[in-house]
């Protein structure tokens, strides 16, 4: 494939070229709309691109990439801004939020979405047909970015990674061409994108399988932190023996003193056990009995819910905030690991973190899909995820606190991390993402990137795995 020879232009010239070539709005850094378009969910991600292209079509995306490549610039992409890589000054930021088309094919049980679609849109569109997507725990997250990173959702032990359900994509590659990508058309690109992320192109459309699910048992059990040692051990033993119809995670959460929170949680540290169950033939109450018996929950929200209410299980924040995340895949979770987690994440640790979570893997997550992809971490037993909020007066202490949590769990870690949870685009987070792949996978990713993006047009996203590709 041919690639343009770059020549560097002044930012104003690039903006002029973009405004001539695209139908959507183009913002220069001095424009009033630049900041609004460049601001996503994670307020800690600051974009400094030479321009923001608010794409109105796949053709706009292709034109922006082509102009960037021809003028020695890189390209970053943002839909919702939950996990976007920062766009540097020598880049063009492509905002795909307006590409929000959703189409449901009831006969084929598929959904086709554009680049800016959020999971809640698919949940709501699929439900009238008795169908459901493998959405994430936060339905405000963008479908495409979530899926390219693997996609570990609330019912993942039952139905696997979201990436494993993808059938085809339309992708703008570094040469500005819009390509149809399937297991048969551009098979290397199909493999690399699903699990390798946005370092290989911008996905403008994605089609994936839906499941015949209308309701499920879901919600949370919240325990006083004093019961944490017993709850953590019981949860570990319980989920290890649970059927694959059950998916669950456990988090030590420092709840802020906000009036909208339930009184038993307001301003307190608690243990939050998340529960999702999708088998009508099994009694959810019987499955939960061991957890409800180990200690009395201060709040129990588990009930039958309609599938579009999936987000209520984790009840993740919905308002934008400046956050930082770190993660690690775990081989096992012995008593010593639980004690170590509680020592740093509980009140005794006094660390400025919002939560430290352990999600159970296994089940369908460990089964490779019929069509292989680059999703990593399938052999892990658990994944650790910890979050801090970068606000005064704790902002400077948050990065070290998050690494303290990850470091405390290092004896039981694989050395890798799932892309969607790793946090950060360089340093230890990027190395953990790279380490989650096998050497053979890393080599193949490098070869595919060299073939499709030899000039590093998508370098901002590629820094997720800087040591690998």
Digit-coded pLDDT (tens) for 157-196: 999 999 999 999 999 999 999 999 999 999 999 999 999 9
**Mean pLDDT over residues 78-85, rounded?**
90
Is 453 a domain residue? no
Indicate if the pLDDT at residue 428 is higher than 90: no
Q: Are residues 204 and 133 in the same domain?
A: yes
Q: What is the pLDDT of residues 48-68, one digit of tens each?
A: 999 999 999 999 999 999 999
| Last residue in a domain, options 61, 95, 129 | 95
CA pair distance 298, 315, nearest whole angstrom: 16
The larger pLDDT score, comparing residue 4 to residue 80, is at 80
| % of the chain beyond a pLDDT of 90 | 91
CA 426 to chain centre: 17
pLDDT band at 280 (very low <50, low <70, confident <90, very high): confident
- At 466 the pLDDT is 44
Q: Are residues 190 and 290 in the same domain?
A: no
Please provide residue 18's backbone torsions phi and psi, each rounded to the nearest 5 degrees: -65, -45
Contact criterion met (CB below 8 Å) for 360 and 239: yes
- At 5 the pLDDT is 54
CATH of the domain at 64: 3.30.43.10
CATH of the domain at 130: 3.30.465.10
**Mean pLDDT over residues 283-297, rounded?**
97
Q: Are residues 122 and 135 in the same domain?
A: yes
pLDDT mean across residues, the chain = 95
Sheet of strand 166-172: strand arrangement: 102-105, 110-114, 202-209, 166-172, 178-181
The distance in angstroms from the start CA to the end CA of the chain is 19
Please provide residue 80's backbone torsions phi and psi, each rounded to the nearest 5 degrees: -110, -20
Instruction: Judge residue 336's burial from the number of C-beta atoms within 10 Å of its C-beta, 0-12 exposed, 13-18 middle, 19 or more buried.
Output: exposed
- At 9 the pLDDT is 54
CA pair distance 415, 383, nearest whole angstrom: 11
- At 463 the pLDDT is 59
Q: Are residues 139 and 82 in the same domain?
A: no
Q: How many structural domains does the chain have?
A: 3
Is 180 a domain residue? yes
Q: Write out the two tokens for 427.
A: 């340093």
Lowest mean pLDDT among 6-20, 60-74, 199-213, 377-391: 6-20
Indicate if the pLDDT at residue 29 is higher than 70: yes
Contact criterion met (CB below 8 Å) for 464 and 437: no
Indicate if the pLDDT at residue 361 is higher than 70: yes
Residue 50: which domain range?
Answer: 11-95
**Mean pLDDT over residues 428-454, rounded?**
93
Q: What is the pLDDT of residues 89-107, one digit of tens each?
A: 999 999 999 999 999 999 9
Q: Are residues 265 and 246 in the same domain?
A: yes
Torsion of CA 298, 301, 302, 308, to 10 degrees: -160
DSSP characters over 121-158: HHHHHHGGGT-B----SSTTSBHHHHHHT----TTHHH
Is 417 a domain residue? yes
Lowest mean pLDDT among 213-222, 420-429, 449-458: 420-429
pTM: 0.95
pLDDT band at 464 (very low <50, low <70, confident <90, very high): low
CA distances from 450 to 170, 433, 458 (A): 20, 19, 11
Q: Are residues 281 and 389 in the same domain?
A: yes
| % of the chain beyond a pLDDT of 70 | 96
Indicate if the pLDDT at residue 467 is higher than 70: no
- At 263 the pLDDT is 94
- At 468 the pLDDT is 42
What are the start-end ranges of the H helices in 312-363?
A: 335-345
| Last residue in a domain, options 157, 188, 212 | 212
- At 7 the pLDDT is 54
Lowest mean pLDDT among 6-15, 166-175, 227-236, 316-325: 6-15
Provide the 3-class DSSP secondary structure of residue 300: strand
- At 207 the pLDDT is 99
Q: Write out the two tokens for 177.
A: 């061409």
Rg (CA), the chain: 22
Q: Are residues 199 and 59 in the same domain?
A: no
**Mean pLDDT over residues 380-406, rounded?**
97
DSSP characters over 411-423: GGB-S---HHHH-
Q: Are residues 350 and 416 in the same domain?
A: yes
Q: Are residues 91 and 34 in the same domain?
A: yes
| Last residue in a domain, options 188, 212, 236 | 212
Q: Are residues 355 and 383 in the same domain?
A: yes
Is 45 a domain residue? yes
Indicate if the pLDDT at residue 3 is higher than 70: no
Q: Are residues 189 and 229 in the same domain?
A: no
């Amino acid at each position: 494939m041919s690639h343009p020879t770059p020549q560097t232009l002044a930012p104003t010239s690039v903006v002029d070229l973009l405004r001539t070539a695209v139908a959507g709005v183009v913002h220069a850094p001095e424009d009033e709309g630049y900041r609004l378009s460049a601001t996503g969910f994670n307020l800690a991600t600051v974009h400094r691109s030479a321009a923001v292209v608010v794409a109105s079509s796949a053709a706009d995306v292709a034109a922006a990439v082509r102009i960037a490549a021809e003028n020695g610039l890189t390209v970053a992409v943002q839909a919702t801004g939950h996990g976007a890589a920062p766009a540097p000054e020598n880049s063009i930021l492509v905002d795909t939020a307006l590409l929000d088309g959703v189409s449901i094919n009831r006969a084929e049980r598929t959904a086709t979405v554009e680049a800016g679609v959020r999971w809640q849109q698919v949940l709501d569109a699929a439900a009238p047909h008795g169908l459901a997507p493998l959405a994430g725990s936060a339905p405000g997250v963008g479908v495409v970015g979530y899926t390219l990173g693997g996609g570990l959702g609330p019912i993942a032990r039952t139905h696997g990674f979201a990436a494993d359900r993808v059938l085809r994509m339309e992708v703008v590659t570094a040469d500005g061409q819009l390509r149809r990508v399937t297991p048969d058309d551009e098979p290397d690109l199909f493999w690399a994108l699903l699990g390798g992320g946005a370092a290989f192109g911008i996905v403008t459309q994605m089609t994936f399988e839906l499941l015949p699910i209308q309701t499920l048992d879901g919600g949370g059990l919240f325990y006083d932190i004093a019961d944490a040692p017993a709850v953590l051990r019981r949860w570990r033993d319980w989920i290890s023996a649970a059927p694959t119809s059950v998916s669950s995670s456990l988090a030590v959460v420092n709840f802020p003193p906000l009036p909208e929170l339930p009184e038993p949680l307001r301003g307190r540290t608690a243990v939050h056990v998340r529960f999702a169950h999708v088998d009508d033939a099994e009694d959810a109450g019987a499955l939960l009995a061991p957890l409800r018996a180990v200690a009395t929950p201060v709040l129990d929200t588990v009930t039958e819910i309609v599938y579009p209410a999936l987000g209520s299980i984790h009840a993740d924040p919905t308002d934008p905030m400046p956050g930082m995340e770190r993660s690690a895949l775990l081989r096992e979770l012995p008593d010593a690991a639980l004690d170590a987690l509680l020592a740093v994440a509980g009140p005794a640790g006094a660390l400025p973190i919002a939560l430290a979570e352990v999600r159970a893997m296994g089940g369908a997550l460990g089964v490779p899909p019929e069509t292989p992809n680059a999703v990593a971490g399938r052999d892990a037993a658990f994944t650790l995820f910890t979050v801090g909020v970068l606000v005064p007066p704790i902002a400077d202490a948050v990065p070290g606190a998050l690494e303290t949590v990850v470091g405390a769990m290092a004896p039981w870690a694989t050395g890798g991390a799932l892309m969607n949870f790793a946090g950060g685009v360089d340093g230890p987070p990027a190395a953990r993402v790279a380490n989650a792949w096998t050497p053979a996978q890393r080599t193949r990713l490098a070869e595919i990137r060299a073939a499709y993006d030899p000039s590093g047009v998508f370098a901002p996203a590629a820094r997720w795995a800087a040591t690998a590709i």
